[in-house]
């Protein structure tokens, strides 16, 4: 067609019968074909790039336990490549290689921080993978804080108990390591690629390009911002969380509201809380729960927890959260895995029913209500870290989404909780300040002043984890009850019982 036009206009020749030689015709066809191929290739490239940079997909696990351990709840960073939202961890390849990039900062690898690895998995329980916007990302899920391990003896294999508090996890050191190594000069694209390949990863050309051009630079900027916001909550003078604990609300104050933590009153800046268990949520619906009883809705507790893991309304995976919700709704507490003395336990039940059930049994008159601090007298810091002002601001979060909170309130004490599966919830109290049930039944002055947290060998006599052997000391972290927020005072119920009755009572509590 265009040839004809040129002939017509350019040379003014007679064009009624344009003569096309066989060669011309052949050239014509070839040109058409080339054009078609070029267009197809362009289309393929566009589709590929769209798939590469826009698609968002993750591994599906049909088994709910696998989903809980490794499935994505949407906490991996999302948004666009240039304007990321959410997420607290670096991309998969970086996350995987960090301990090799900064070996001096974490000689024992992630496992030494209490992250639990299973055979044939390169990521620990509680870390999910998701392809998002051109990069394989990782995120935290519920299992990282809600999965624990137990061993009978130092030589036994650990039992992994899903839904149990991650009493072995040092989340603060984990965050500090990730931040510090991400900002380390040794974290370069070349180094990450080399370490990843050393570890047997195939790094595609595209990923090498992305890592070298933008990703590492962006990661460093993002990490700097994260450090500016959260660094204060993660470092002295704020006391360390230690193993099995996280400050539930202070990191939110800066991450969600961009409050300057340095400007807040000292009295609300300490709030390290023990990880709780996740089982039996259905009978908890309507109860005032969280340690201070500040929320009555299981759904909102799930939701606020997922925000803590890095989920945002933009990145959330509703279907995934619903599966977890449905599972923990009826998840049964784990049975005590060791021997139980039945006659002791029967005697202990009578004591429990008389002195404890009112506050701690499903159906107890005060179970699920908040006990005034003056009556319980345990450490006040966690209660004070959740302030009225914070509560009011929480209500204003995401006003137009289903994320809106309507069940939070400021309380004046700690919640009377059901004690189901209590054997697996050691150490005890909201700040994890008392290592075993037997110690909780001692007068506060006689409870251990310092002990190790995070060792998973079980002490069947005291009911809790072993906390004072050399093995425990090398595996866990030292908990000092004299530090602000770590007080082990209060909760005097049962402390006046004769020693034999205390044994009966804790024998019974193994069966809960
Ligand atoms: C970063 C660690 C962490 C992650 C991740 C996490 N949680 Fe929690 N969760 C906690 C802590 C700590 C508490 C206790 C908060 C408090 O009262 O101070 C808690 C409390 C809860 C409670 C209330 C338990 C009770 O009996 O009061 C539920 C339910 C819960 N989490 C569910 C979830 C779900 C579902 C997820 C995943 C979407 C999740 N959590 C992820 C740390 C975590
Ligand atoms: C008047 C209500 C009340 C009575 C009675 C009571 N408790 Fe408690 N208990 C509480 C409260 C509130 C807490 C949470 C305190 C905190 O974490 O600071 C608690 C915490 C506990 C915990 C720790 C739970 C955990 O997950 O760490 C155990 C164990 C416990 N109580 C056992 C008992 C036993 C045994 C008795 C009876 C001898 C008893 N309690 C009587 C209110 C009560």
Lowest-confidence range among 5-9, 118-122, 382-386, 462-466?
A: 5-9
The pLDDT of residue 84 is 59
Tokens of 505: 């009572």
Please report the pLDDT score of residue 350 as a whole number: 97
pLDDT tens per residue across span 283-301: 998 899 899 999 988 888 8
Cis ω for the linkage preceding 427 (within 30 of 0): yes
Confidence category of residue 18, pLDDT binned at 50, 70, 90: low
Specify the higher pLDDT residue, 410 or 394.
410
Contacts of residue 161, defined as CB under 8 A and 6 or more positions apart, other chains included, come to 147, 148, 149, 150, 334, 424
Separation of CA 425 and ligand 2 centre (Å): 12
The answer to whether the CB of 349 is under 6 A from ligand 2 is no
Of 419, 428, 460, 474, the residue nearest 447 (C-alpha): 428
> Over 90: is that where the pLDDT of 275 sits?
yes
Residues 6+ apart with CB under 8 A from 137: 76, 77, 87, 89, 91, 92, 129, 130, 131
Specify the length of the chain in residues: 512
The tens digit of pLDDT for each residue in 332-344 reads 999 999 999 999 9
Q: Under a CB-based contact definition with an 8 Å cutoff, are residues 485 and 382 in contact?
A: yes
Residue of 305, 299, 303, 296 whose CA lies nearest to 273: 305
Asked whether residue 79 carries a pLDDT value surpassing 80, the answer given is: no
Query: What does the block give as tokens for 441?
Result: 């039944």
Q: Among all chains, which residue has been given the structure tokens 């040109």? A: 31
Q: Whole-angstrom Cα distance, residue 185 to residue 191? A: 10
**Token pair for residue 32?**
């058409």
What is the rounded average pLDDT of the residues 62-72? 96
Q: How far is the CA of 445 from the centre of ligand 2 (A)?
A: 17
The pLDDT tens digits for 491-510 are 999 999 999 999 999 999 99
Which pLDDT value is given to residue 85?
62
Ligand lying closest to the C-alpha of residue 430 = 2
What is the rounded distance in angstroms from the CA atom of residue 307 to the CA atom of residue 327? 19
Atom 2 of ligand 1, residue of closest alpha carbon: 145
Give the closest residue to 462 by CA, choosing from 490, 488, 437. 437
The region of weakest confidence among 179-183, 309-313, 325-329, 385-389 is 309-313
| pLDDT, greater one: 22 or 501 | 501
Share of the chain above pLDDT 90, in %: 68
Cβ(510) to ligand 2 under 6 A? no
How far apart, in whole angstroms, are the C-alpha atoms of residue 57 and residue 131?
5
Instruction: Reply yes or no on whether the pLDDT at 7 is more than 80.
Output: no
First to last CA, the chain: 87
- What tokens does 110 get? 């992630």
Mean pLDDT of the chain: 90
Predicted confidence at residue 10, as pLDDT, reads: 45
Ligand 2 atom nearest 490 alpha carbon: 18
**How large is the average pLDDT for residues 371-397?**
93
The closest alpha carbon to 141, from 309, 380, 389, 377, belongs to 309
For residue 429, the ligand closest to its alpha carbon is: 2
**Cβ 431 under 6 angstroms from ligand 1:** no
Cis amide linkage into residue 237, ω under 30° from 0 = yes
Q: How far is the CA of 427 from the centre of ligand 1 (A)?
A: 16
272 lines ligand 1 (CB under 6 A): no
Q: Which of 146, 274, 309, 315 to mutate to test the pocket of ligand 1 (most atoms within 8 A of CB)?
A: 146
Encode pLDDT of 241-256 as tens digits: 999 999 999 988 888 8
The torsion of the CA quartet 281, 251, 372, 362, rounded to 10 degrees, works out to 10
Q: Whose CA is nearest to atom 5 of ligand 2?
A: 356
pLDDT of residue 404: 82
pLDDT above 90: residue 313: no
Residue 450 has, within 13 A of its CA and on its CB side, a CA count of 9
Contacting residues for 110 by C-beta, under 8 A, at least 6 apart: 99, 117, 124, 174
Distance CA 379, CA 428 (A): 12
Residue range 348-356: average pLDDT? 97
Tell me the C-alpha distance between 52 and 213, whole Å: 16
* 173 or 14, which is more confident: 173
Q: Is 306's C-beta closer than 6 angstroms to any atom of ligand 1?
A: yes
């Amino acid at each position: 067609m265009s040839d004809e036009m040129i002939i017509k206009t350019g040379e003014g020749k007679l064009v009624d019968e344009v003569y096309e030689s066989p060669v011309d015709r052949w050239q014509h066809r070839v040109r058409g074909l080339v054009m078609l191929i070029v267009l197809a290739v362009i289309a393929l490239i566009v589709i590929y790039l769209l798939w590469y940079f826009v698609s968002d997909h993750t591994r599906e696990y049909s088994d709910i336990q696998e989903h809980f351990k490794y499935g994505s709840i949407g906490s991996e960073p999302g948004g666009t490549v240039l304007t990321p939202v959410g997420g607290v961890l670096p991309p998969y390849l970086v996350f995987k290689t960090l301990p090799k990039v900064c070996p001096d900062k974490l000689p024992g690898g992630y496992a030494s921080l209490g992250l639990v690895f299973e055979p044939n998995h390169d990521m620990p329980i509680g870390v999910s993978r998701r392809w998002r916007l051109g990069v394989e990302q990782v995120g935290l899920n519920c299992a990282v804080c809600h999965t624990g391990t137990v061993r009978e003896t130092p030589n036994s294999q650990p039992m992994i108990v899903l839904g149990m508090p991650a009493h072995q996890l040092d989340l603060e050191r984990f965050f500090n390591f990730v931040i510090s190594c991400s900002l380390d000069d040794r974290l370069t694209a070349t180094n990450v690629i080399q370490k990843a390949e050393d570890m047997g990863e195939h790094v595609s050309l595209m990923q090498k390009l992305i890592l070298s051009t933008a990703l590492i630079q962006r990661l460093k900027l993002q990490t700097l911002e994260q450090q500016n916001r959260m660094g204060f909550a993660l470092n002295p003078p704020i006391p360390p969380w230690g193993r099995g604990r996280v400050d539930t609300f202070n990191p939110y104050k800066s991450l969600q509201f961009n409050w300057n933590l340095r400007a807040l009153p000292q009295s609300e800046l300490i709030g390290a809380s023990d990880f709780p268990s996740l089982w039996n949520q259905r009978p908890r619906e309507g109860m005032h729960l969280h340690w201070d009883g500040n929320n009555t809705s299981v759904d909102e507790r799930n939701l606020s927890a997922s925000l803590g893991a890095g989920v945002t309304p933009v990145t959330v995976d509703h279907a995934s959260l619903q599966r977890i919700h449905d599972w923990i709704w009826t998840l049964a507490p784990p049975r005590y895995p060791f021997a139980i003395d039945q006659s002791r336990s029967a005697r202990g039940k009578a004591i429990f029913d008389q002195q404890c059930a009112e506050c701690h049994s499903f159906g107890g008159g005060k179970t699920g209500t908040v006990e005034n601090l003056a009556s319980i007298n345990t450490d006040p810091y966690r209660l004070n870290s959740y302030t009225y002002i914070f509560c009011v601001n929480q209500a204003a979060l995401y006003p137009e989404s289903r994320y809106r909170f309507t069940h939070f309130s400021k309380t004046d004490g700690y919640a009377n909780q059901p004690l189901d599966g209590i054997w697996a919830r050691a150490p005890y109290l909201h700040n994890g300040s008392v290592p075993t049930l037997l110690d909780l039944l001692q007068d506060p002055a006689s409870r251990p002043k310092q002990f190790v947290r995070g060792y998973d060998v079980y002490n069947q006599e005291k009911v809790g984890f072993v906390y004072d052997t050399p093995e425990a000391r090398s595996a866990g972290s030292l908990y000092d009850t004299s530090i602000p927020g770590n007080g082990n005072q209060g909760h005097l119920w049962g402390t006046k019982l004769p020693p034999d009755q205390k044994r009966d009572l804790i024998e019974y509590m193994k069966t809960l």
